[in-house]
Amino acid sequence: MNRRLYFLFPTPLQVRSVVSELKGAGIDVEGIHAVARQGIRLDGLPVATPQQRRDVARRLERWLWRANLAVFALALVLLLAFVAGGHPQWAWAPLLLMLATFVAGERFSTQVPNTHLDEFVEGMAHDEVLLMVDVPKRRVAEIEAMVHRRHPEATVGGVGWAVGALGI
C-alpha cells in the first residue's frame, strides 16, 4: 500500500513545475493527481479520477470501521450466549474473534495515516490546487522534503493511504 502525500499550491503553474520535478525524481505520472474547484484550469496536469475526487477511500475506511465494530459486537453476543447457555468451553472462539477485531482496529487507527480531501476544501475554495502524490512508504520523507525545499509556497497537507489497484 502506497502513501498519498497532499500539497496545496496557489496556482496551477506551480503545480506543473512540481509535477515535472516529481517525474524527474522517478514518481510515475499514474501516482500524481491534481484537484481544484470547478472553473480552475488544470491543463497539462494529471487530473484526479472521479473516485479520487469523491474521496472513496474515506468511505471505505468508514465501512471497514463499522464492519469491525459489528463483528466485535457479534462476537460479544456469541460469548455471552455460550457462557449463559452452559457452554463456556466454546468461549475461546468469540474471545479470539474479539481480540482480532480489537487488534485490527487499533493497528489501523494508529498505523495507517488518514488525511482526506475534506481537509482541503477551504484552500480549493480560494482557488488553490491540491496535488496528491502516491509514493512508497520509504520515500515519503524524501518527497516531502524535496517539494518543501524547492517550493516553499506549497502547503504540506499531510499523508494518507492509497491503493492503486482500487483506483483510490
30/49 same-domain check: yes
Same domain, 146 and 158: yes
Same domain? 67 vs 44:
no
Q: Does residue 105 share a domain with residue 32?
A: no
- For residues 26 and 6, state if they share a domain: yes
Q: How far is CA 159 from each of CA 25, 46, 63, 131, 144, rounded to the nearest angstrom?
A: 19, 19, 20, 12, 10
From the centroid of its chain, how far is CA 106?
A: 17
pLDDT tens figures, 41-63: 999 999 988 888 777 777 777 88
Looking at the structure, do residues 137 and 94 belong to the same domain, yes or no? no
Cβ atoms 158, 1 nearer than 8 A: no
Distances (CA, A) of 35 to 11, 43, 69, 115: 12, 12, 33, 15
Give residue 17's pLDDT: 95
- pLDDT tens-digit series, residues 1-39: 789 999 999 999 999 999 999 999 999 999 999 999 999
Q: Tell me: do 131 and 162 sit in the same domain.
A: yes
3-state secondary structure of 133: strand
Are 67 and 31 part of one and the same domain?
no
Name the residue range of residue 104's domain: 57-111
147-164 residue pLDDT tens: 999 999 999 888 887 776
Compute the mean pLDDT over every residue in the chain, rounded to the nearest whole number.
89
Domain count, the chain: 2
106 and 130, same domain (yes or no): no
